[in-house]
Structure 1
Amino acid sequence: MSEGGAELRRLERRIRLRLDARTALDRALRSLPAIGQIVVAATLAYLLARGLLGHELPLVAVTVTIVSLGLARDTTPRRVAETVVGMNIGIAIAALLVQGIGRGAWQIAVILAVTLVIARLLSPSAPFAIAAGVQSMLVAVLPSPDGGVFARSLDGLIGGAVALLITALIPRFDLLRPRGEVAALYSLLDQAATGMHDALRLGDAAAAELALARSRRTQSLLDDWSRGLDSARAVAAVSPWLRRQRHRLAEESALQQVSDLVTRHVRALARRVEVVARDGVPRPLLAELLAQAAELLRLLARSSDDEAARYAARAVAAGLAARCAPTAVDGVADQVVVVLLRPLTFDVLVHLGTPPDDARALLPPL
């Protein structure tokens, strides 16, 4: 290997290490709200179990609290409650079986099997069953505390109550920060629409393929946005500190719903443009329409926080709708592109406050 090649490899390794370190640091920083919430909840559960019940080792109270809250950003009160119920069911089942069959290797197998079967009967959620199974094993393996085997059920109830209380009283405020998925989604949509414009303007099949590939990367961003938004709304519904955020979250939910529709339309357009552009023939009129659609997407991304962008988006959408006449272009393939633009403009107009009948009237007859 040449000296220059070795130096290049060393440089690549240093860059990779720096990127990995930066990613790890960012991951830790983003987890700080969840870590703080878990630390407070686990400590409170420990103190309550010791102070109220006199348990010297309230292991179950602490583990129920930690596992119920978790580190995931999309933790909701309902998900916490489901985990709490699953864990306490596992504790109760194991406590009953230990009383009847005792402890030992074959008893552990029976207790775990019975717990998992009952958990699966009660809920379709796999984490629910696993939470129940883990807690049942703690009861089955560890010696009974001073208060008897059912004392752990009380610990589990305390841990669950604390987890639910902390979810409402100390919410993870990172749920309310601007979601990176939104900016990333609209950046991809803009790139896809701009790529379709270039493909139609130049007759560039490669640009059309790239636009299609970009449009296909949007689904995971939409899913992440939806999960994060659902979590934020669920927590805001029970938290007294987030009452003022409910209106903003409702507006974001409306944007998320229209973004889902728009993304589907862009993917359909990208598939059709990729087929149309294969012949390498420039299509300036269709390119103008896609340029207008790209501008509409950029304005839509800012419409929730910028009133001027909202008005501008409505004007652009109305102008684009008026031009979506299939008869304006020749050939069935080109006309399909125009037809696919119509539902996109209609959905955006309705989202921006135009009555559906008025939005429909702006579209030329088919």
Structure 2
Amino acid sequence: MAGGVGVASWARSSWRRLAASGPAIAQIVIAAMAAFAFAHWVLHHETPLLTITVAAAALGFKRDARPLRVLRTAVGMTVGILLAELAVHLIGVGFWQLALITLVSLAVSRFFSAEPGFAATVLVQSMLVVLVPSPVGGPFVRTIDGVIGGVAALLATVLVPRDPRREAAREAVASLDSFDEVLGMLVDALRRGDVAVSTQALDLARTSQGPTDAWAASLDTALSVSRISPFLRRYLPELESQRELHRSMDLAWRNLRVVARRADYLLRDGSARPAIADAVAQLETGTGLLRESFRDISTLPAARAAFVGVVRRLDPDEVMPHSTARDKGLVLALHPLLVDLLCATGMPLADAQRLLPAL
């Protein structure tokens, strides 16, 4: 049974990955075939293999599909092809020549990109030049094919772009899901005085930067492509607004880690803090509505209202008049978190700060 569940889970994740990669696959196929067609039927290159390999590798399935990255990848690969062709032309092909070309290809790849997989890609292109018989048309036909493939990949980012919003929205929802999960665990821990749950919340908060960084990378790509693509420029205001949301949520994550750390320390005495739990629960409600705003923008005012409703719970002298200094410290730690979340709804920073209770 367990094996069947594992296979079913693998199949579901595989289908989701394939569906998410559909636009990238279409973009790569169009760019590769356009490059091949131009080299084969316009320039009469008999087998322009490298047009396909360079176009496909330059675009790839990476989250970072910015034109600058595509250009850098294409240039690095084309330079590797050129150097391999020069080496074959000047020193011929043999064992030591292969070693030298391998060395040069790896050095070039590391110069152009820090990605480990890029080195293997450049080396493959170089080996195709060295080990596959030279095509008809001259010694540098394959370099020309590489240039054509790179140009096709770059044009594809502009003329056949992937949806710049879909990936960014998916990463945003993933980050907000994790944020919501940490808040939910803190509510549970504070209501029951359960330090084991608060420790789990703290551990999750400490490992949360990955989804937030992925969101930032997707946004950078979306903004870069939208600025140069005539088909996507209309999405720029929406993406700029999302970038402001990301900045606020990045700060909110940092403050949530502080809150989780304080809660974990405070709950070591095993006592429940229901008043603080109620405040955190309302923050959780607001972040849930904030997450829903990616599907339905009309939930954004409700998210702001939920956060504003927390303000009255954040005066430690009123909510917990007989509490310890450590309890009050935890309530005060929620203040900057609330400000960040209000800013995430579009409220100006000064307005959010003025809402906080005077201390």
- How high is the TM-score relative to the length of structure 1? 0.87
Question: Aligned residue for 2:244?
Answer: 254
Other structure's SS at 1:281 match:
coil
Cα deviation for residue 175 of structure 1 reads 5.1
Which residue does the alignment assign to 1:32?
Answer: 22
| CA offset digits 1:109-130 (Å, max 9, x no partner) | 1122123334434555545544
- Residue number among 28, 32, 35 corresponding to 1:45 in the alignment: 35
State the distance in 1 between where 2:182 and 2:141 align.
Answer: 59
Deviates more, 1:23-32 or 1:322-331: 322-331
Amino acid at match of 1:76: R
1:238 aligns with 2:231: no
> What CA deviation, in whole Å up to 9, does each residue of 1:232-285 have, x standing for no partner?
222222222112222222222222221212122222211211111121112233
Shift of 1:301: 2.5
Please tell me whether residue 348 in structure 1 is matched to residue 341 in structure 2: yes
The answer to whether the 8 A contact 2:249-2:340 is kept is no
Residue 52 of structure 2 is matched in structure 1 by 62
Aligned match of 1:132: 122
Match of 2:137 among 120, 133, 147: 147
> Using the alignment, how far apart are the partners of 1:295 and 1:233 within structure 2?
30
Which one is further off, 247-256 or 113-122? 113-122
**Matched position secondary structure for 1:29:** helix
Misfit runs of 4+, over 6 Å:
none
- Distance in 1 between residues matched to 2:148 and 2:154, nearest whole Å: 10
Deviations 1:160-204 (CA, angstroms, capped at 9, x unpaired) = 111111121111237536733333332332232232223223322
Tell me, yes or no, if structure 1 residue 183 matches structure 2 residue 173: yes
Q: Aligned residue for 2:357?
A: 364
Kindly report which structure 2 residues correspond to 1:66-105, keeping only aligned pairs within 5 A, or say none: 66-105=56-95
Q: What is the number of residues matched between the two proteins?
A: 356
CA distance in 1, matches of 2:85, 2:120: 17
CA distance in 2, matches of 1:312, 1:88: 53
Q: Residues 34 and 314 of structure 1: is their aligned pair in 2 closer, same or farther, counting only changes over 3 Å?
A: closer
Q: Does the 8 Å CA contact 2:279/2:310 hold for their aligned counterparts?
A: yes
Please list every run of 5 or more consecutive structure 2 residues that lacks an aligned counterpart in the other structure.
Answer: none
The answer to which of 249-258 and 209-218 deviates more is: 209-218
The aligned residue for residue 290 of structure 1 is 280
Q: CA deviation at 1:157?
A: 0.8
Deviation of 1:67 (Å): 1.0
Q: Give me the CA root mean square deviation.
A: 2.6
Distance 1:307 1:135 in 2: 47
Q: Distance in 2 between matches of 1:355 and 1:25?
A: 42
Amino acid at match of 1:346: V
The answer to which of 269-278 and 126-135 deviates more is 126-135
**Contact between 2:32 and 2:56, CA under 8 Å: does it hold in 1?**
yes
How much identity, in percent, do the aligned residues show?
A: 40
In 2, distance between residues paired with 1:187 and 1:24?
21
Give the alignment partner of residue 21 of structure 1, picking from 11, 14, 18: 11
Q: How does 1:258-337 map to 2 (within 5 A)?
A: 258-303=248-293, 309-327=299-317, 329=320, 330-337=323-330
How far apart are the structure 2 equivalents of 1:222 and 1:269?
18
Q: In 2, Cα distance between the equivalents of 1:193 and 1:107?
A: 60
- Secondary structure at the aligned position of 1:241 is classed as coil
Q: Structure 1 unaligned runs (5+)?
A: 1-10
Tell me how far 1:365 sits from its aligned partner.
4.3
Distance 1:12 1:150, change over 3 A: same
Cα distance change on mapping 1:206 and 1:322 into 2, 3 Å: same
**TM-score (normalizing by structure 2):** 0.88
CA contact (8 A) 1:139 1:149 kept: no
Give how far 1:106 is off.
0.6
Contact persistence 1:83–1:127 (CA under 8 A): no
